[in-house]
């Protein structure tokens, strides 16, 4: 049996232009897993308003980070795609050094490379077993659920059905929590610990959780595990949710409103980390590192510091390797 591991992340426009952003948003926001509004209501809004206005507004933001990651770090193209590609390369090197006989590739849920294309290419090369690894530590139907849908479509359309297993989540995996804690400790060693540590996760509608999505509970367990690893008491950290969209209630407390409250109270310093993101992207670089800094300071707050995503950290790659090892047959974990 020849096995390949496929890392997966959300995706990105092919270039920082309005047409490319429009195509990406169309694919992303047309997914019923992402937006559960009835199609007859949602699609006219999407095509008549959102895809008309948002691409022209968002494309310049992509242009600002294109070939440039956090704090001006040089990357190739979109940071999310660059970090995911490099994570696959580094994971391949790590597993090969351990004697684990697998191929590591990457794919995107929206945009290129697509999972179906990567699986088809690898099948032509003789691979017949796949571990699909969504880089979403906390499961949500809006993210990992969409990848399950893609796997189901591969099964429906493929006469020679491959053996595919998925990593459902890793929100409590000790190596993942340890890597998060290490990143915070290293940040503190360099800058000193802030008065507050804000753990900001991407939000989803509250109704999704009420219907059974485990995302909120997994985010809370990640946050509590990280706080315990760091030895923080309840007054030193806060779980929040960012990036709400539309008029419906999303998971609370909201990140931006919490920062306004802290600013008004005169909180001297805040460190912000986004544990749900395996790689920095437009959302973390623009919204969290820049926009929310302005929100906090304008409200009267003091110093605001963003702790980068785990990206290419060595302990992050070790965590990914440990999670992969848990999914592989025993014979693939041993040296040849």
* 8 A C-beta contact, residue 130 and residue 165: yes
Q: Residues comprising the binding site?
A: 202, 283
Q: Residues comprising the binding site for Fe(2+)?
A: 202, 283
Distance CA 200, CA 295 (A): 15
**CA angle 251–149–116, rounded 5-degree value:** 130
Q: Dihedral, CA atoms, 236, 313, 335, 328, nearest 10 degrees? A: 60
User: Running DSSP on this structure, what letter comes out for residue 236?
Assistant: G
Which of 247, 174, 184, 171 has the alpha carbon at shortest distance from 216?
Answer: 171
Distance CA 53, CA 49 (A): 6
Residue 41: Cβ-neighbour burial (10 angstroms; 0-12, 13-18, 19+) = exposed
205: alpha, beta or left? (left if phi > 0; alpha if psi -120 to 50): beta
């Amino acid at each position: 049996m020849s096995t390949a591991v496929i890392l997966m992340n959300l995706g990105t426009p092919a270039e920082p232009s309005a047409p490319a952003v429009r195509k990406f948003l169309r694919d992303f926001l047309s997914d019923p897993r992402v937006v559960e509004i009835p199609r007859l209501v949602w699609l006219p809004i999407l095509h008549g308003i959102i895809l008309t206005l948002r691409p022209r507004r968002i494309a310049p933001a992509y242009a600002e980070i294109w070939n440039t990651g956090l704090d001006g770090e040089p990357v190739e193209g979109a940071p999310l795609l660059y970090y995911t590609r490099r994570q696959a390369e580094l994971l391949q090197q790590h597993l090969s050094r351990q004697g684990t006989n697998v191929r590591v590739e990457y794919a995107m849920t929206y945009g290129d490379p697509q999972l179906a294309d990567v699986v088809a290419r690898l099948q032509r090369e003789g691979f017949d077993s796949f571990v699909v690894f969504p880089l979403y530590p906390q499961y949500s139907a809006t993210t990992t659920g969409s990848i399950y849908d893609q796997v189901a479509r591969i099964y429906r359309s493929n006469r020679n059905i491959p053996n595919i297993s998925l990593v459902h989540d890793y929100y409590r995996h000790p190596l993942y929590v340890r890597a998060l804690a290490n990143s915070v400790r290293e940040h503190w060693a360099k800058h000193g610990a802030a008065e507050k540590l804000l753990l900001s996760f991407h939000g989803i509608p509250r109704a999704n959780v009420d219907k059974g999505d485990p995302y909120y509970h997994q985010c809370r367990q990640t946050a509590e595990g990280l706080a315990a690893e760091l030895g923080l008491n309840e007054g030193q950290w806060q779980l929040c949710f960012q990036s709400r969209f539309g008029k419906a209630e999303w998971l609370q407390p909201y990140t931006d409103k919490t920062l306004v409250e802290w600013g008004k109270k005169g909180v001297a310093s805040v460190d912000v980390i986004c544990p749900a993101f395996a790689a920095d992207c437009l959302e973390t670089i623009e919204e969290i590192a820049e926009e929310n800094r302005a929100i906090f300071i304008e409200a009267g707050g003091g110093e605001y510091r963003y702790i980068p995503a785990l990206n290419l950290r060595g302990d992050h790659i070790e965590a990914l390797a440990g999670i992969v090892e848990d999914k592989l047959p025993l014979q693939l974990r041993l040296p040849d």
